[in-house]
Amino acid sequence: MQTFPHSSKGFLEHWQALDLWLLAHRELWQQAPFYQPQPDWTIRHPELSATLQALSDQQCALFETHPEELMQHLQHAMPSLSDAMQLSQIPLLNKPSLSLSEVRASGMPGRKRLQAGAFTGALFPLSHSIVDWCCGCGHLARTLAPHVCSVIGLEWNQQLVEKGNKTAKKYQDPVELRHQDVMSPSLHLPIDAHVVALHACGDLHRHLLNHASSIKSKRISLSPCCYHLSQNIQWQPLSKGAHTSSLLPIGFSTLRLAVQETVTAPNRVTLQRLQITAWRLGFDELRRNFWPLEPISTLPSAPNHLIQGNFEGFCRWALDTIQHQPPEDCHWKTWEERGKVRANVLRRYELLRHLFRRPLEIWLVLDYVLLLEEQGYEVQWGTFCERQLTPRNILIDAQLGSGQT
């Protein structure tokens, strides 16, 4: 089994291997089966398609949370899928958590408290003043505060700033949250600061990487999230090394796949998600039948109250959304049943597509690592907590190299 050393050469080799593997399997992950009832790859790989469609509901439920077992199950149909395990391997940082006590974590959700504690522990020891990028109401800032002389938090939502400062004052934390749009050209970061970000989204964490590395911040530590959220349509790599990617051009909408994983939802929420998916597919069948020439547009998220209703109510909401009247004498039950059939097929095709979530995320993260190395940083990376706590558990930790200014 090939391994990749955690050095400049090793990071680039790892990224190149992922780039080639993702390219070789592009047809399996880039085409969303929700919009393509029979993906093109099913014709070229009939054994793979048949193996997936033969899965029971119980197997689907198992493989949705244990993708490594699905890879083994599919190995006879496509042996190269098993390479995902090797290509997705990154270090486990395995440092003691520094979570706030429940008494001091006032107003902090339990899972967020543990995430902030694991993130803080992974950064230890700390030796610079902290700037918390997109700090919200200061959960991470307050977790870091006992271990540094001061923490400044930057947040655009004034209400969160006020709430966070009130809590910090109550517990006498050395934390100051400031109302600041981090995307503003007027943003000024202290050069000698350690800039941190826990789950900053899309353009926000990309701007952090570009800005903080360009002014040579002493240390940059972040756990990125929601890679697909951007004002742009096409994704462009930040590093020079990743500009050689064979996957370009690639749209930000495609990158949504990297974060399509939920490990914290209760069973009730999972069942509701499956039902809404079946209803959406049933409505898609209805729309294709009655308005076959119209381009398919994406529906917004359905209001929560609709899940308590029925398929007809969902369709009437959807038709109103796209400004259509319900068809006369519509047999709602027919379209609902068609939706259920498509949902069963979709669930099994999505299992295959989801095998590419982690490799795609690591491919994106390695672009960030390569950028920081190009800017003169010494970079470590790894998982700072178990995926059951959060699937967005990758930490990039960059120290400015000696002689860099």
Whole-structure pTM value: 0.93
Q: How, if at all, do strands 175-179 and 151-155 pair?
A: parallel
Q: How far is CA 154 from CA 33, 149, 174, in A?
A: 40, 17, 15
Which domains are delineated in the chain? 110-259+357-400 (3.40.50.150)
pLDDT score at 98: 97
Q: How long a stretch of residues is the chain?
A: 405
Tens digit of each residue's pLDDT (9 = 90 or more) over 286-331: 999 999 988 877 899 999 999 999 999 999 999 999 999 999 989 9
Average pLDDT along the chain = 94
Q: What is the pLDDT of residue 32?
A: 87
In 87-226, the DSSP E strands lie at 130-133, 151-155, 175-179, 194-201, 219-225
pLDDT on residue 341: 97
Residue 306, pLDDT score: 94
* Residue 43: strand, helix, or coil: helix
Given a cut of 50, whether residue 339 has pLDDT beyond it is yes
pLDDT of residue 4: 60
For range 221-230, the mean pLDDT: 97
User: Residue 1: pLDDT above 80?
Assistant: no
Q: Which helix (H) or strand (E) segment is 399 a member of?
A: strand 394-400
pLDDT at 2 (0 to 100): 54
Q: Answer whether residue 384 shows pLDDT above 90.
A: yes
Residue 285 pLDDT > 80: yes
